Amino acid sequence: MRIRLLYFGILKDTLGQERESLELGDAATVEDVVRLLRARASNGSDAIWHSMAVAVNREYAGSATVLRDGDEVAFLPPVSGGAGVKVALQREKIDSEEVVAALKAGEDGALVVFDGIVRNNTRGRKTMYLVYEAYEDMALEQMRGLANQTLGKFAVRDVAIVHRLGKLEVGESSVLIAVASAHRGAAFEACRWVIDTLKKTVPIWKKEHFVDGAVWADGEPFPDEISTVALG
């Protein structure tokens, strides 16, 4: 059988490409593919293979998942994230005033906004710019699911989640979360939950470009409920 492989973030650098096709025998599993890739990898820390997640056809999958002909298998390093809900990945600048204005309604008593901004340094290194990339189809699906979870989990009326991709300059917004609710407590709680969960589960990665080099930002570990590939 033949499957399609997609690589993101530091894995793309480690394997020297973004995508490829691979011929496998019948009943091959995710673990079989990982073993092949590890044997081929010419650089990078072995820790990468112990902290990544794998998605098969845009759904998180475990090591024992049996693959089928035509499957799309994406290898994801830790990520550095309803009606009326605005969810978007975009390469143009985020217009926070436009997003907030579109979200407001007469029944709202509070609207809480988290605006993530590119800062000019990281741990003492001067930042020139950032580059964000995503497994876009899956990221959008995860973001929509996150928005709908928010509406069910908290007493809020509406949610907006917008994330930039591509090159971002210092001072530009990388992610905007806005939550509208009748009461401020629910809006604050929901907004914090959305950004924290997005950073752990949505396949978006950040490469930081400094005056003295560039690195992929360390991601947060995937939650326990997401199966990760960890081979000895």
Between 11 and 107, whose confidence is greater? 107
Domains of the chain: which residue ranges? 2-76, 86-216
Asked if the model's pLDDT at residue 81 lies above 50, the reply is no
- Kindly provide the b/e burial profile for residues 193-217, where b requires at least 16 CB atoms within 10 angstroms of the residue's own CB: bbbebbbbbbbbbbbbebeeeeebb
Question: What is the C-alpha R_g of the chain?
Answer: 19
The reported pLDDT for the residue numbered 226 is 65
pLDDT of residue 42 exceeding 70: no
Helix ranges restricted to H, 95-154: 96-103, 136-153
pTM summary value: 0.67
- What the block records as the tokens of 198 is 């997005």
> DSSP secondary structure string, 28-53?
-BHHHHHHHHHHH--SS-TTHHHH-E
- Model confidence at 6, in pLDDT bands (50, 70, 90)? very high
How many of the other CB atoms lie within 10 Å of CB of 130?
A: 23
Lowest mean pLDDT among 44-53, 109-118, 160-169: 44-53
User: What's residue 83's pLDDT?
Assistant: 39
CB atoms within 10 A of CB 185: 12
Judged against a pLDDT cut of 80, whether residue 73 lies above it is answered with yes
Q: Which residues are CB-neighbours of 130 under 8 A, at least 6 positions away? A: 118, 167, 168, 174, 206, 207, 208, 209
Confidence of residue 227 (pLDDT cuts 50, 70, 90): low
Read off the pLDDT of residues 14-38 as tens digits, 9 standing for 90 and up: 888 899 999 998 889 999 998 888 8
- The strand ranges marked E within the chain are 2-7, 19-23, 53-56, 59-61, 72-76, 86-90, 110-117, 121-122, 125-134, 158-164, 166-169, 173-181, 204-210, 213-216
As a whole number of angstroms, the distance between CA 219 and CA 217 comes to: 6
Q: What is the mean pLDDT of residues 54-79?
A: 89
Architecture of domain 2-76 in this structure: Roll (3.10)
**Which 3 state secondary structure label does DSSP give 15?**
helix
Helix (H, G, I), strand (E, B) or coil at 16: coil
CATH code that applies to domain 86-216 = 3.90.1170.40
Q: What percent of the chain has pLDDT above 90?
A: 60
pLDDT of 232 reads: 47
Tell me the pLDDT tens digit for each residue of 162-209.
999 999 999 999 999 999 999 999 999 999 999 999 999 999 999 999
